[in-house]
């Protein structure tokens, strides 16, 4: 019996786009003090820190994009070469053009990984991919958060302690109106008593999606070393292992002879 052909090795490098509205950093001094070059630049720097990952980790080619760039930074040409898109959005969800949402959805379904951060839960793209309102409870009180790792064997949790302690964060509380995740990696507890599913994974078409809750713009969350480790792990997990698989619905001929009543 002939052995099956070996699977092709995954690409040696992962191409990543870190997208950010880049509005708060230019209008609010307290945000600019924490992220002087933008949240996207801080996340990109975190992803460039690869040391500490396992031997199977792939090298990253990282670039950034922002809302006010041509085509909102997400042209067809850029997305065609993107393996993982990291998305931070908050106040400008309604400004994302229909054509951009359509384009992003098509690329995720074809295999592009997507990491949605913090208030990106209410982005047009995430809500479309989830098929729900993605609503929740919230308050900004600078309270303590403890992110419990509830799936320590998941690749996104690699190298983490039992929980991640954040001294100050925005509270998100249940009920989070999302479809049941394929995996829930983190559950948060907040000082005010609420809990929240803060790290959730889904497969949509051929693409992997990870939602990660922490990251309010007035707190230095993306400077926290374990948060940075989660982001890097998530990129490695979400990256496709094969070429993009565009949608097809072909008519095909049968592989075997069909037996009809007249036979």
Q: Residue 77 burial by CB count (10 A; 0-12/13-18/19+): exposed, middle or buried?
A: exposed
The model's pLDDT over 71-96, given as tens digits with 9 standing for 90+, comes to: 999 999 999 999 999 999 999 999 99
Q: Does the pLDDT of residue 9 top 80, yes or no?
A: no
Strands 113-117 and 207-212: what pairing? Answer: parallel
Half-sphere exposure of 41 (CA within 13 A, CB side): 8
Mean of all residue pLDDT scores within the chain? 94
Give mean pLDDT, residues 49-64: 84
Residue 176 DSSP label: P
Nearest CA to 207 out of 178, 172, 242, 259 is that of 242
Q: Where are the domains of the chain?
A: 13-131+200-238
The model's pLDDT over 111-148, given as tens digits with 9 standing for 90+, comes to: 999 999 999 999 999 999 999 999 999 999 999 999 99
Is residue 198 a contact partner of residue 213, using CB atoms and an 8 Å limit? yes
| Calpha distance 188→165 (Å, rounded) | 10
Specify the pLDDT at position 128. 98
Confidence class of residue 12 from pLDDT cuts 50, 70 and 90? confident
Is residue 185 a contact partner of residue 151, using CB atoms and an 8 Å limit? yes
- The two tokens of residue 89 are 């959005």
Nearest CA to 12 out of 77, 57, 64 is that of 57
Strands 113-117 and 84-88: what pairing? Answer: parallel
Q: Does the pLDDT of residue 61 top 80, yes or no?
A: yes
- Record the pTM: 0.93
The model's pLDDT over 20-40, given as tens digits with 9 standing for 90+, comes to: 999 999 999 999 999 999 999
Give mean pLDDT, residues 100-108: 98
Which residues, in sequence order, are bridge partners of residue 172? 138
Nearest CA to 132 out of 144, 140, 142, 123 is that of 123
Confidence class of residue 56 from pLDDT cuts 50, 70 and 90? confident
Confidence class of residue 51 from pLDDT cuts 50, 70 and 90? low
The answer as to CATH 3.40.50.880 being correct for domain 13-131+200-238 is yes
Residue 1: C-alpha distances to residues 6, 8, 91, 256 (Å): 15, 21, 60, 21
């Amino acid at each position: 019996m002939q052995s099956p052909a070996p699977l092709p090795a995954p690409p040696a490098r992962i191409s990543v786009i870190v997208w950010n509205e880049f509005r708060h950093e230019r209008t609010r001094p307290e945000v600019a003090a924490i992220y002087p070059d933008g949240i996207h630049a801080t996340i990109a720097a975190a992803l460039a820190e690869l040391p500490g990952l396992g031997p199977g980790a792939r090298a990253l080619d990282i670039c950034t994009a922002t809302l006010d760039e041509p085509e909102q930074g997400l042209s067809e040409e850029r997305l065609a070469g993107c393996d993982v898109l990291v998305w931070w959005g908050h106040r400008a969800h309604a400004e994302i053009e229909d054509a951009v949402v359509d384009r992003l959805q098509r690329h995720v379904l074809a295999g592009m990984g997507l990491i949605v951060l913090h208030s990106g839960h209410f982005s047009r793209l995430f809500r479309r991919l989830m098929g729900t309102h993605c609503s929740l409870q919230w308050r900004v009180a600078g309270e303590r958060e403890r992110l419990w790792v509830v799936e320590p064997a998941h690749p996104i949790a690699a190298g983490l302690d039992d929980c991640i302690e954040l001294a100050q964060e925005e509270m998100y509380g249940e009920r989070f109106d999302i479809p049941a995740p394929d995996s829930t990696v983190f559950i948060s507890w907040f000082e005010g008593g609420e809990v929240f599913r803060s790290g959730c994974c889904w497969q949509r078409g051929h693409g992997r999606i990870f939602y990660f809750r922490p990251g309010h713009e007035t707190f230095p969350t993306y400077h926290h070393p374990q948060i940075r480790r989660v982001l890097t792990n998530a990129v490695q997990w979400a990256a496709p292992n094969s070429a993009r698989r565009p949608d097809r619905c072909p008519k095909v001929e049968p592989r075997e002879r069909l037996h009809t009543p007249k036979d």
